[in-house]
Amino acid sequence: MALSADVTSQRFIAPAVDLVGGTAATIIPAVGRKWRTTRIDIQIKSVSGFVSVASLSVGSNSATFSNVMAIAALGTAAVVDAFVAQASLVILDVAVDLTTSGLQLKIATPAVATSMTADVHVFGYFTQP
């Protein structure tokens, strides 16, 4: 049995996602590969006039974009540099095809605030063809 080292784990970032007025953001552009997400970190980058958090989903299934992470509220992340707790983000144990739409983030419920942005960090790897 041959062993190989895995140096292909990667991180993609959707920077400054508008959590108030935005509806979607591309995390990984369309590519003819399958991707498995292992972790998602959401870091609040700016906020003013905060009232309530956004909820969002991640996926490659067009329209709902929820086959990687089901819709989740961003918990108590309401100040700059706050991170969303991993326990509140349910990442599904699947490899998804990125051929058609890539990996997308969908804002299901916008934040109620004057303005609010976040960087979305997605960690994982492309599966072997």
When the pLDDT of each residue in the chain is averaged and rounded to a whole number, the result is 91
Overall average pLDDT of the 39-56 stretch: 95
Overall average pLDDT of the 39-60 stretch: 95
pLDDT above 90 covers a percentage of the chain that reads 80
**pTM (2 d.p.):** 0.89
Q: What is the pLDDT of residues 76-97, one digit of tens each?
A: 888 999 998 777 788 999 999 9
Q: Are 122 and 84 in contact (CB under 8 A)?
A: no
Tell me the C-alpha to C-alpha distance, in Å, between residue 40 and each of 34, 49, 90: 17, 26, 9
Overall average pLDDT of the 34-61 stretch: 95
Overall average pLDDT of the 92-113 stretch: 96
Q: Is the pLDDT of residue 58 over 70?
A: yes
In the block, which residue shows the tokens 């959590």? 19
Of 36, 71, 76, the residue nearest 52 (C-alpha): 76
State the number of CA atoms in the 13 A half-sphere of 46 facing the CB: 9
Q: Which amino acid is at 127?
A: T
Token pair recorded at residue 93? 């144990």
pLDDT of the residue at 128: 81
Overall average pLDDT of the 13-40 stretch: 95
pLDDT of the residue at 3: 55
Q: What is the pLDDT of residues 4-17, one digit of tens each?
A: 555 578 999 999 99
pLDDT of the residue at 39: 93
